[in-house]
Amino acid sequence: MECPHLSSSVCGALDSSRFQSGSPSSWCCGVCRSNKSPWVCLTCLNVHCGRYVNGHAKKHFEDSQEPGCPQKRQCERLDKHKDRDRAQHSVCMDCSSYSTFCYRCDDFVVNDTKLGLVQKVREHLQSLENSALALDCHRKRKLLESPSVTSKLVKDSVRGPSHTATGLRNLGNTCFMNAILQSLSNIEQFCCYFKELPAVELRSGKTAGRRMYHTRSQGDTSVSLVEEFRKTLCSLWQGSQTAFSPDSLFYVVWKIMPNFRGYQQQDAHEFMRYLLDHLHLELQGNHSKAASAALTQDGLQSSLAGKCCINGTSTVVTSVFSGVLQNEVNCLICGTESKKFDPFLDLSLDIPSQFRNKRTKNQDSGPVCTLQDCLRSFTDLEELDETELYMCHKCKKRQKSTKKFWIQKLPKVLCLHLKRFHWTAYLRNKVDTYVEFPLRGLDMKRYLLEPENIGPESCVYDLAAVVVHHGSGVGSGHYTAYASHEGRWFHFNDGTVTLADEETVAKAKAYILFYAERPGRSGAEPKL
């Protein structure tokens, strides 16, 4: 948006001596000393943390509006004209993404002053960041050249691929979003599609053609989830920064997904479903909120390439993640059989009750629960209880029946959600059972409706990413993710990215597993 407050809020003289030393993206808040999400006030050049950390940048603005506040007196001393309107403190700049925000407008800013003062601050911060990065690389190079340095950690951080991995800053209990974004960014065929999309110009009129710095336009119809998702993916794995702040994407999420407004912890699986559904709808060019009806056997839609279509036209979301289930119900009284085909983007698997007390792999009490146990429980024949009686069209009333799932079509990327959260009378408890899962060679052939029509390698999957929930409840705890990139495993913990070995990944208590279809090749590896 065009902000009318720049002339009264941006300091006329850029005094670099008033900036903190070091990398701007790591500057500390002047109040709480946090280096997460630093913002610099463009009136007084003081640094405070963003609203998703402790909110001292916003409080700095609010305090400045009160009569006799120290900030306003300071600006009056700096301004020889003592124009009280200059002491606004309403405009600040993100020290990581260089986006500009106005608290009076409550929106991001796309315009500049007549003298280009905002751009001068931006260029100065970029220069400081580049200088700090160059100095850090020089220091690491000197350490590596030193014969006394034998630490594997230093060698990996300098010449290994780990330096290309970029973390995502936590904007205030946004670890659920960060874990999903990092997982999706390491699903190659999905991520590459978005990174290759052309940039979307959302603005027109006076601001058309100008470079956008994570701007947020007014009105729900003028924001693009696809575009902000594309920007975020493009910022990962470039190696230009250690952590990226996905604030612009988060604002779009707030606008189009009301369920995720606020700063409370959210369910990562629920967020993933909302994200994929909205990406699918926007890519279709269909913003209708009508729920897609379950597809019947006669109405099963598919493209010429055999891609499952959920709610109309196929997109990269459905072509990568969508499969088809056959839901088979049999009446136990008359034997009538009913079949229905349901498209899915992920499968939610119960952890069998007999394993729910086993929390670790090495615990002695009983066998270890495996992913195969969860899949078998999902596809096994079960008798529906009294609360789920089937309406038999032949008997003309609700009858006892059995239900069984078959997988009619496997997706390219199989997403498996382990149902770790269960409602009791008043609480939602977590099932903390360890579930053993394979890093490679997950064979899904035994769960297919027609396995004889499938090639030997087309139903074998290798693990691409796994989301882990740490803690005791869905409304608390913390999410992290492990993902494989170019043959190496990384652990993504918000803004921190570290190398991980396969043994560590295999011990994780998985919440969401992403398995990528193995390309057809000769030779077999051990199956699950």
Report how far residue 51's alpha carbon sits from residue 517's, in angstroms, rounded to the nearest whole number.
Answer: 41
Residue 479 and residue 509: Cα distance in Å, rounded?
A: 11
- DSSP classification of residue 290: P
Tokens of 502: 């396969």
Q: Which entry of 44, 102, 175, 392 is annotated as an active-site residue?
A: 175
CA atoms of 31 and 54, how far apart (whole Å): 9
Residue 47 and residue 161: Cα distance in Å, rounded? 33
Task: Map tokens 């604002």 to a residue.
Answer: 251
Backbone angles phi, psi at 48, to 5 degrees: -140, 165
Residue 166 exposed, middle or buried by CB count within 10 Å (0-12, 13-18, 19+): buried
SS3 of residue 223 by DSSP: coil
Taking each helix axis as running N to C, give the angle between helix 175-185 and helix 247-256, from 0 to 180 degrees, rounded to the nearest 10: 110
Distance CA 62, CA 269 (A): 37
Contact indicator for 89, 61 with CB cutoff of 8 Å: yes
* Cα 16 to chain centroid, rounded: 36
> Any idea of the CA torsion for 107, 108, 110, 115, to the nearest 10 degrees?
90
- Catalytic residue status for 415: no
**In 10 A of CB 174, how many CB atoms?**
25
**Distance from the first to the final alpha carbon of the chain:** 54
CB-based contact 277:343 (threshold 8 Å): no
81 counts as catalytic: no
Closest to 406 (Cα-Cα) out of 330, 294, 325, 295:
325
Q: What's the angle, vertex CA 12, arms to CA 120 and CA 20, rounded to 5?
A: 65
Q: Which residues are catalytic?
A: 175, 478
